[in-house]
Structure 1
């Protein structure tokens, strides 16, 4: 019968090595759960929750803009690209907006209207990554059509 001590050798791994290996496999561009509103709790999958969040936010903004008395001299049909950030505390901020110059000329206060529409949003639950609340950014197209 032959035995070897090599079988019983244990490799020592430092915590730094474990952390380095873990960070290399970590996907920084994806979250476990997207930001959400309480009305999106019925959604089961991650993708359904994302769609519900985007739909709720889009509907809220467009409803707010429709209630405003916007007077224009020519028809507007524009898709605004809005870049948002949801902090790890659930605060939504409009970072950037890409709006056609015709829309800005016809509705000079469009950016302030967009900011104002966010004031009355329902509570937002931040995104989660490994059980921790994290800050996320996303782009959302909003179609504006004024006759």
Structure 2
């Protein structure tokens, strides 16, 4: 009986460690969450009103890019450009969309020949995005977020 009570007392003393509650501080939780957080991805891409809101994430992205490219191309084709040599260049437009859905052009990268032949290309591109339809901003974890994109636009002038 003494042996049985000794074993029970030992079990009781050592089992108390299993009932200890380990507390985790909010800083540790935040640090772990930030390590798993992918800063380069959004839950939903920016979207125009004309895009289907129930489409998949990739379809929304393609709709946004195609709509933006079509609007810029359409507005550039309205202008008559006179050049001394043929131009076949890709212009890279860096822009950002604010949390409020406002599109801002950041930089425009074009070949030096394109800039020489069409010196007002930057102004034309700025004008082409001035009257865009309503843009819904990107969403990350149910919050509207600012996003930045690079859009390639092919310029062909003969």
- For the criterion TM > 0.5, the same-fold answer is yes
Is 1:131 the counterpart of 2:142? The answer is yes
Q: C-alpha deviations, 1:2-30, integer Å up to 9, x for none? A: 55222321111111111111111111111
For residues 47-104 of structure 1, what are the alpha-carbon distances to aligned partners after superposition, in whole Å with 9 as ceiling and x for unaligned? 1110110000000000000001222222111111111111111111111111011111
Distance 1:124 1:117 in 2: 15
Which residue in the other structure is 1:38 paired with?
49
Q: Number of aligned pairs?
A: 147
Distance 2:139 2:107 in 1: 23
Segments of 5+ residues of structure 1 without an aligned counterpart are none
Query: Residue 78 of structure 1 contacts residue 103 of structure 1 at CA under 8 Å; is this kept in 2?
Result: yes
* 1:95 aligns to 2:89 (yes or no): no
Matches within 5 A, 1:1-147: 2-3=11-12, 4-42=15-53, 44-147=55-158
Larger radius of gyration: 2
Q: So what's the TM-score if we normalise by structure 1?
A: 0.94
Does structure 2 conserve the Cα–Cα contact (< 8 Å) formed by 1:32 and 1:130?
Answer: yes
Task: Tell me, in whole angstroms, the C-alpha distance in 1 between the residues paired with 2:155 and 2:53.
Answer: 29
Distance 1:108 1:43 in 2: 42
